[in-house]
Structure 1
Amino acid sequence: MRKSTDKDQTNHEWIQTGWKVQATIDVLFSACAQKGIWNALNKVKGHGAWQDDGGNLIYHCGDKLWSLDGAIETGEYQGFVYPTAPQISAPWDEEVNAENSPAHDLLKLFKTWNWARPELDPVLLVGWFASAILGGALDWRPMVFLTGDKASGKSTLQKIAKHLFGDGILQTADTTPAGIYQQVGHGCLPIAIDELENEANNERTTGILKLARLASSGAVMLRGGANHKGTEFACYSCFLFSAILMPPLRAQDRSRMAILSLNTLPQGQKPPAIKKVVFETYGRKLKRRMIDKWPFFKDVLAHYQSEMVKNGHDGRSCDQFGTLIAAAHVLLSDKMPSRALTKKYMAMLSPDILLEISNTNSNSDDCLDYLLQSNIGKWRSGTDKSISALLEMYLDRNETQQYVVPDDVKNGLAAVGMAISKSVELNGTKKIEFLSVAIRHKQTLDMFKDSDWTGKSDTEGGWAQALSRLNGAWPSKSVRVDGLVIKCVQVPLMYVYRKSPDDLEKLMGFEEDFTLKEKRDATESAIAGNREDGIDPFET
């Protein structure tokens, strides 16, 4: 720097003539030291909605931030860094009340599709669009899967999603997990993937579903790098999938999504007119309403989650469907849900009829089903026999004239590391029979090979842990199997066989006036009581 002078040498101004590298470095180092050590994963917030430490909503539009208090400049705010980024659609300039909310038009439009659940599915879809706006601010991010044959309107719904969000959505029909999180970065914009079909090789699809599963709760992913430094990544986006045939879904994936099934549109029905400018306006208005009604949303969500718990839902389905219903309600109404409306939704979301959870078994039940359907190889007649077929022969031995005797069945089970064991008399009931399954056994290991419950020759098989979680199961007991005394997990045959109440009366020896539930409770209570007393209820 030097001073300039005029001819009279009275007006002096500083003129920059260069810069000192070391001085600049020292200033930057000093500023970094004052800020302290930090982690970009937790401190950098990109596009989308977030909560600050006080639970307030902050929406990052790229060029500015929006909150209930108005617009805020990007940069550092309340301990977080909101970097300037390409602009996405901003919220509507004016407040949007429930009466003027475009959600009413959207709901009316969505009802023109031929849904499998015409009263519920359009509401859930509206709820997803609302939830997708909130993204990173949510404790749980719901997923939606649109499925239906060709000409059912899936692509049109994907087009509507694109018009509503504009540049504020990542939409693709061909991607990988790495492609998604590299594109999303530190943002939480919604992600819509079309044609996520069931294919011969579902490796790519499985990876995408795993990423979506992690995003629902915001779990952190860790990846190694070429420079031996790990990379952290967390996804906070709501996912929308569509396909003609859904890929195979594990129980943990199925329970995290609303499956909206579409039937083919009636012949002659014209597709709706989708005007981009109209839906862009809708999207801005929906965004403004969800930002303004953030405190109201939390109250409505708590209401629906509480009601769902009372109606038998577990925590995950309360998060998944409670969030969708609550978000849709906020777009459509300024009042808390009435009793009548709540009752209506609880009936439609009953755990007994809700496809997403009613057809989902526990991991333990899936393991048991896999075991029962497995074959032991050639039987006496020269045909394959499943484990369940052998057990049925054994349990029916006193009711029908079978050519198979109990010892034959036991020998067949022993060949695959299993045995039938009896307990001593419990609480006045007759001796209870159990299926004993070896914890370590070569043939049992072969049976579970390439399954979710596999193991290694020198370790406890994964099936042992899963089966031990079944009601009334005994996790570890020494049992003689095929001449060897080995550790087994034991499952009550009454649970394995799942016969009718009349059959169970004969098998278990209960009085006729006992209900099936009383029989199960009595048996499991007796087993649990003996465990607490340190008594081994099984015969050696």
Structure 2
Amino acid sequence: MNFSLIAFIVALWGARFAGALKIWSKTTKKTLSYTADDIDRLGEDVARKRHAEDLYVGLSTQPHDLDSSARGSNDTAITLPGIVADIDFASAKNSEKKYPPDAETALALINTFPEKPFFIQHSGNGLHVVYAFDKVFVIGNREDRRRAQAILRQFGRRLMDHFKAAGYEIDNVFDLARVFRVPMSFNHKSGTPKPVEVIAFNPESRLDLAALERAVPPEDAPAPKQVATRLADHDMIAHDCPWYGYYTGDGAAAADEPNWYATASITARCKDGERIFHDYSARHPGYDGREARKKLERARTEAGPRTCEAVHSELGNEQFCEACPHRGTITSPVQLGYGYDPGPFGPRPLGFTKEGHFALLDPVRKIVILASAQQLLAEQYLLGLAESGFWRQRFPGRKPGSSNFRAAGEALMKACRRAGPFNPQRIRGRGIWLENGKVIVNLGQPVESSKFLYLCFEGIVLDDGPSFDAKRLRDHLKLYNWRNPQDAGLLFGWLAMAPICGALVWRPHAFVYGPARSGKTTIHTVASVVLSPIVVSADGQSTEAGIRQTLGPDSLPILLDEFESDDQNGSTLRNILRLARSASSADTPVLKGTPEGKAMSFSLRTTFLFSAINPRGMSPADQSRISMFELLMHENDREVAKRIAEDEAYFRTTGSAWCSHMIGLAHLVQPAADAVDIHLNGDRRHRQNMSILIGAGFVALNGRVPTDEEAQTLASEYAPAIERHALEVHRDDAQECLDHLLSHVVDGYPLGHWLASLRDEQSGRGNDFANAERIVANYGMRVNAEGEAAGFYVANGAPAMEEVFRGTPWAQKAWERALRKLEDAFIPPNPVQFKVLGKKRAIGMPLSYLPAEPLSLGAGTI
């Protein structure tokens, strides 16, 4: 056969394909990228490498600027020319699967399949079969990607069913990023190179793409799964049933025949039951393997598992049954081995907390619930978690149609204990996330993950509107009268990174400020419109607790307009700014109360856009994470005002196009920021802020990562703005030292909570006050809520402080020097009386540094 690799490429992908072909070397783990202009170079490289390396080509074209170690993925595919089937031979693969025995058998089945192949090659150990579309499928958005994957899955099912009808299996490897061996290369797997031989090349054989798409069931409905018979767990039964545990354990060697046969009726219904039955039966001196096998089969087929009543009354096992904690809650010991099965609709056990509560996932509402033992043993509470039919089916009561709710509650608690300690930081809510280098979109569709639990109580729907004109948004921001014109480009970068903030390792915030009628409200409105429906837009009078509880575990951007404050000391603003600081980095825990007054921590990932006339209450630590953009009074230019109004009206027609645009590019933003960062100078945090804003803006406009030369140009272009935004003061060491002290957790709460409790509750000594007084005293601290000496005090050299600051820059009493530098900190002229340490010299600080109020009690769900 006269075959040409170049002719094959042109016939399959087209002469002017979009994106790049990826040639991956399994030997070097490196990927080479070839655009439509590089095909001759591709042929030369393959000819040079094929004798020494295992070479694979990707089915879909991919972005040309991916890292050299990346082959591309389903999420980055640009065009799909067809479908590849990988058919292994049983003779070449050590597997329990029933692969076709050889090439002849596989080819016969390929030739009897209704769709005719475009290309077939012998890979050395199997066949690679390519089916080409009559036109290339172009993937322009997430809906295109979903449709393309659905076509691959549907075709794959048909081909697998065709082989299955003949008694054989093939692997389910039908995906966008599938690779197959480069034709006419060599397979080096088994030492001696085997040529990858072309068997058939039929360029005229094409699949009708439109017909394939019509054949896809609605929503690509999965085939119904077969429900397997449920088997019990022998170890669970032996642990919880004293009778069964004895006769299958220490008492097996002396068991009488009735009890032995009764245990067989239970063991026969356990996983690996036959082996377990013979293991404990063999301890008896009268054991006969053949007879034991017959007895086990009879126990399995002639009757059900022995009941608790029969074990107690008929077999005379009062010594075991009378004291059994499960007596009256189950009908047979075998039930103890089933544990708890949530199915698709029941509450799913997640673990337990050190405070004695149990964590459950409600799969219908997509929320996590913390419940007490008392709640889980209450019928009304369980009916709030699942309907009565669920409990009746899994935990039937003694009366027909009734449920044993006590048994259900105990099973839930036991399953939670078996799951182990509950870690709330594994919870992720709505938003765009990064997991193991892969972008995760959690807006309502199911998300599979072994590392995190993705929740979505209320889905966020992105419409399939037109593509977004990113340049128009960037140019719109330039219409405002900025003190520094380059701030328009940086704010554009914030709007670009905001929808995908959870997928970034660092999230800068933005603050737009200026006089009345300078355009702040219009900018806020435009930002709210283009970021809808992903954004959380709130009034500037919102509280830190309200924002935190509204956001929960979600990773969504937050807009706060009129970020002013009426309270005298500005504590509301400071608390929100402190929340923003914690949200910048990926894994900073924030504490949230539960109904029982215990603290639950989770990582807050969000980004803020503030707007106000005068920024207030900002410390240098805040400024290191918040980019300040100043507006000047507009110049009453009617033409500019008209264009701003026209743009605002236009953006209202674009729906969620901006969010969809950036979600599709989410995987490029962090690499773009990294490319810019290496060309920036100065403080690390400032570089992170600027590189994210600049990199995100470039990706939004160009749909790719900048080259090194482009990144260097961007850094030079924005150099004046970067210098202006650089920190004017060093990091506020004193404030960060105090933040560390106040966030140190004791008995489930930070020290700041306990100090605030003392400040607010010295007039009424309840249990909370007693705990606060004890904890604060043990840490060498005290609070004076009133009078000239009002403040909170830390004793010099307090031993507990060394534990608080161990491993930090403030260890070995450096915390004393740092705290003294706080604004309005004071040194009392005389020693202060401390409850545990006695009279000591101390550092005093104003009560305004404490939280405005102790941690509020939340809604009990995440």
Deviates more, 1:356-365 or 1:146-155: 356-365
**How far does residue 301 in structure 1 lie from its aligned partner after superposition?**
1.5
* In 1: Cα distance, 2:730 partner to 2:574 partner: 20
Classify the secondary structure of the residue corresponding to 2:672.
helix
Q: Please give the per-residue CA displacement for 1:457-480, whole angstroms capped at 9, x wherever unaligned.
A: 6558799xxxxxxxxxxxxxxxxx
The match for 1:47 among 430, 434, 438 is 430
Q: Please give the per-residue CA displacement for 1:143-192, whole angstroms capped at 9, x wherever unaligned.
A: 00001111111101111122123342221222110111011111121111
Task: Write the mapping of 1:69-468 to structure 2, written as runs, cut at 5 A.
Answer: 73=446, 77-90=449-462, 92=464, 101-118=468-485, 120-173=486-539, 174-197=541-564, 200-218=568-586, 219-222=588-591, 227=596, 229-269=598-638, 270=641, 272-273=644-645, 278-279=650-651, 282=654, 284-308=656-680, 312-338=681-707, 341-350=710-719, 354-363=723-732, 451=823, 454-455=826-827
**How far does residue 46 in structure 1 lie from its aligned partner after superposition?**
1.4
* In 1: Cα distance, 2:453 partner to 2:477 partner: 38
* In 2: Cα distance, 1:159 partner to 1:449 partner: 41
The match for 1:38 among 375, 400, 422 is 422
**How far does residue 38 in structure 1 lie from its aligned partner after superposition?**
2.2
Change (3 A) 1:186 1:224: closer
Change (3 A) 1:357 1:456: farther
* In 1: Cα distance, 2:431 partner to 2:548 partner: 15
Show the counterpart of 1:537: none
Contact 1:351–1:357 (8 Å) recurs in 2: no
Change (3 A) 1:89 1:162: farther
The match for 1:17 among 391, 401, 411 is 401
Change (3 A) 1:316 1:280: same
Q: Please give the per-residue CA displacement for 1:333-365, whole angstroms capped at 9, x wherever unaligned.
A: 134325664344323544896333252345479
TM-score (norm 1): 0.57
Counterpart amino acid of residue 131 in structure 1: M
TM-score (norm 2): 0.37
* In 2: Cα distance, 1:130 partner to 1:21 partner: 51
* In 2: Cα distance, 1:462 partner to 1:283 partner: 54
Classify the secondary structure of the residue corresponding to 2:656.
helix
Change (3 A) 1:51 1:20: same
* In 2: Cα distance, 1:352 partner to 1:365 partner: 28
Change (3 A) 1:335 1:449: closer
Change (3 A) 1:27 1:79: farther
**How far does residue 21 in structure 1 lie from its aligned partner after superposition?**
2.1
* In 1: Cα distance, 2:734 partner to 2:452 partner: 45
* In 2: Cα distance, 1:92 partner to 1:261 partner: 35
Counterpart amino acid of residue 451 in structure 1: E
Runs of 4+ in 1 over 4 A off after TM superposition: 91-94, 223-228, 274-278, 280-283, 338-341, 362-366, 452-463
Change (3 A) 1:114 1:449: closer
Classify the secondary structure of the residue corresponding to 2:433.
strand
Counterpart amino acid of residue 319 in structure 1: Q
Larger relative contact order, structure 1 or 2 (CA cutoff 8 Å, min sep 6): 1
**How far does residue 240 in structure 1 lie from its aligned partner after superposition?**
0.3
- Structure 1 residue runs of 5 or longer lacking an equivalent are 1-13, 65-72, 95-99, 367-438, 464-540
Q: Please give the per-residue CA displacement for 1:349-382, whole angstroms capped at 9, x wherever unaligned.
A: 448963332523454799xxxxxxxxxxxxxxxx
Show the counterpart of 1:530: none
Change (3 A) 1:197 1:211: same
* In 2: Cα distance, 1:456 partner to 1:20 partner: 65
Show the counterpart of 1:521: none
The sequence identity of aligned pairs, in percent, is 27
**How far does residue 275 in structure 1 lie from its aligned partner after superposition?**
7.4
Change (3 A) 1:188 1:224: closer
**How far does residue 36 in structure 1 lie from its aligned partner after superposition?**
3.5
Contact 1:191–1:240 (8 Å) recurs in 2: yes
Work out the number of aligned pairs and report it. Answer: 353
Root-mean-square deviation (CA, aligned residues, Å) is 3.7
**How far does residue 43 in structure 1 lie from its aligned partner after superposition?**
2.2
For the pair shown, the structure with the greater C-alpha radius of gyration is 2
* In 2: Cα distance, 1:107 partner to 1:285 partner: 15
